[in-house]
Amino acid sequence: MDAEAAKMIGAGLAIGLGTLGPGFGIGILGFGAMQALGRNPEARGPIMTNMMIAIAFTEALGIYALIIAIILGML
């Protein structure tokens, strides 16, 4: 295997595995928020606000993985 192929495999693994966790995390966050809304619909505002903030932080991890994959591809 040459160096270029190894770089591309590394970049693919970085983005693939790096977005797996945030994908599961966002799914769990959404599930928990919908469960909370089903139990207490009056608390919609704080629940949705906290959910969106948590999703933003979780999504940032996927963006970091994307940046690492791009850097690996350019080296």
In a domain? residue 61: yes
State which residues form the domain around 61.
14-74
pLDDT reported for residue 73? 87
- Between the CA of residue 31 and those of 28, 35, 48, 62, 75, what are the distances in Å? 5, 6, 12, 19, 39
In a domain? residue 5: no
Residue-by-residue pLDDT tens, the chain, 75 positions: 798 899 999 999 999 999 999 999 999 999 999 999 999 999 999 999 999 999 999 999 999 999 999 999 888
Contact present, 22 and 61 (Cβ < 8 Å): yes
What residue type is assigned to position 51 of the chain?
M
In a domain? residue 47: yes
Domain count, the chain: 1
State the pTM of this model.
Answer: 0.81
